[in-house]
């Protein structure tokens, strides 16, 4: 990212002689973005849009403003800028990146289904026969995997992360993908253990219910037996006393 920003700044200085103020603001805004000063970057980049800047300068200003808002967690603001960027009449590789950045915004907004569609389509459109292509594709695949993980599709997410570690070991996302795979494996073990515990608990409850049912049946039988004994004892006492036995006790 740092190399790309330095290259872009050089391009701005070379091509911005016709609109020096816009060029200066754009250069300053991108530097502030690279330094993590996102709110300041947004403020400076907006000034480019208020000057008589060239189309390519205005496009770059909106692009980096969107990225600064994304970094500053203003996801809806970033989406708004990206939509505006998409409507501008221009032709640049930047336009191809819009779905990727919007996908990340949707991810952070927990709109995982929408993010998944954008990121997967973007990943599928990127050839991986150049260093830049590998960087872009592996990044898009990584966020695709994160969407699948958040949606609970652990096996599919693991397959995506596995693709990154096997096909793009030089990618900046390699370690993150490898770590995510370990988390998924651990989570699957936890799910299996919880399933075993649930089944064991259900079996235990069933055993307890059966025991309680037998206990109630035994108590009922015991009560009936005790009543029968009491009736017999009363009959014996009447016989021994010579008194006639009540018809009710017969």
The string of DSSP letters for 72-133 reads TT-HHHHHHHHHHHHHS----THHHHHHHHHHHHHHHTT-HHHHHHHHHHHHHH---SSHHH
- Burial state string for 212-233 with b = 16 or more CB within 10 A and e = fewer than 16: eeeeeeeeeeeeeeeeeeeeee
Q: Which two tokens stand for residue 248?
A: 């009710």
Interval 172-230: pLDDT, tens: 999 999 999 999 999 888 877 777 777 776 777 777 777 676 767 766 776 777 777 77
**2-6, 97-101, 112-116, 194-198: the lowest-pLDDT one:** 2-6
pLDDT, one tens digit per residue, over 49-83 is 888 888 889 999 999 999 999 999 999 999 999 99
- Least confident among 21-30, 41-50, 51-60, 224-233: 224-233
**Given this model, what pLDDT does residue 242 score?**
62
The structural domains of the chain, ordered by start, are: 1-74 (no CATH), 93-250 (1.25.40.10)
In percent, the amount of the chain with pLDDT more than 90 equals: 56
């Amino acid at each position: 990212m740092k190399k790309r920003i330095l290259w872009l700044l050089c391009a701005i200085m070379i091509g911005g002689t016709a609109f020096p103020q816009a060029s200066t603001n754009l250069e300053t805004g991108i530097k502030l973005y690279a330094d993590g000063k996102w709110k300041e970057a947004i403020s400076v980049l907006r000034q480019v849009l208020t000057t008589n800047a060239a189309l390519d300068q205005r496009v770059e200003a909106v692009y980096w403003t969107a990225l600064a808002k994304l970094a500053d967690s203003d996801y809806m603001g970033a989406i708004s800028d990206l939509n505006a960027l998409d409507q501008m009449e221009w032709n640049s590789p930047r336009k191809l990146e819009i779905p990727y950045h919007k996908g990340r915004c949707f991810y952070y907004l927990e709109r995982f289904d929408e993010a998944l569609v954008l990121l997967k389509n973007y990943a599928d459109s990127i050839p991986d026969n150049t260093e830049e292509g590998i960087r872009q594709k592996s990044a898009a695949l990584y966020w695709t995997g994160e969407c699948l993980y958040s949606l609970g599709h652990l096996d599919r997410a693991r397959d995506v992360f596995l693709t990154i570690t096997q096909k793009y070991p030089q990618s900046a996302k390699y370690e993150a993908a490898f770590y995510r795979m370990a988390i998924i494996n651990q989570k699957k073990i936890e799910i299996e253990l919880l399933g075993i515990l649930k089944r064991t608990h259900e079996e235990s409850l069933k055993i307890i219910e059966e025991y309680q049912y037998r206990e109630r049946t035994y108590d009922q039988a015991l009560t009936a037996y005790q009543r029968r004994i009491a009736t017999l004892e009363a009959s014996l006492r009447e016989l021994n006393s010579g008194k006639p036995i009540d018809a009710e006790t017969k």
